[in-house]
């Protein structure tokens, strides 16, 4: 993935139903990947099989939508083998008579991937080549 992906879908479906479609591995396997394994807590492991490819990663955030109109959000990281990781964010928010589903996939770690700093996030996963020595990044 090189370019960010941003999609918005207006669905004539209640928020609770869309939230289940976004967080239930069985339902995710109907539209996002062929097979999905997902531990729904920050730091939980995630695995997505699409054809003969497998993307592994970890869950960054799971926030269910509230009865008071707050949006629901599932954010996770995934990567295939030694490829750079990307961040996927699925949000659901209430619309009059339905739900807005936003899908965003980005590469916010491009600079870190460039210098190969291991990403030691939740779940102990690291992305990018291992470091041979210390690296200083100017910001």
Specify the higher pLDDT residue, 122 or 60. Answer: 60
Decide: 50 and 127 in contact? Cβ < 8 Å. Answer: no
Summarize pLDDT for 28-66 with one digit per residue, the tens.
999 889 999 999 999 999 999 999 999 999 999 999 998
In a domain, 70, yes or no: yes
pLDDT at 2: 61
The enclosing domain of 21 has a CATH number of 3.30.530.20
Burial readout 83-93 (b: 16 or more C-beta within 10 A, e: otherwise): ebbbbbbbbbb
Segment 79-107 shows an average pLDDT of 92
Segment 14-25 shows an average pLDDT of 94
Q: How confident is the model at residue 76 (pLDDT cuts 50, 70, 90)?
A: very high
Segment 112-122 shows an average pLDDT of 49
In a domain, 117, yes or no: no
% helix, strand, coil for the chain, step of 5: 20, 40, 40
Specify the higher pLDDT residue, 23 or 136. Answer: 23
Domain of residue 79 covers: 5-108
């Amino acid at each position: 993935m090189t370019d960010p992906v941003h999609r918005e879908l207006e669905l004539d479906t209640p928020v609770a139903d869309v939230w289940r479609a976004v967080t239930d591995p069985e339902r995710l396997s109907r539209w996002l990947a062929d097979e999905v394994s997902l531990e729904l807590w920050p730091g939980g492991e995630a695995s997505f099989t699409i054809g003969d490819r497998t993307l592994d990663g970890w869950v960054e955030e799971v926030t269910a939508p509230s009865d008071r109109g707050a949006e629901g959000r599932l954010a996770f990281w995934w990567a295939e083998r030694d490829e750079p990781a990307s961040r996927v964010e699925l949000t659901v928010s209430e619309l009059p008579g339905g739900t807005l589903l936003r899908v965003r996939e980005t590469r916010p770690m491009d600079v870190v991937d460039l210098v190969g700093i291991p990403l030691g996030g939740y779940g102990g996963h690291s992305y990018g080549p291992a470091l041979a020595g210390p690296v200083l990044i100017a910001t």
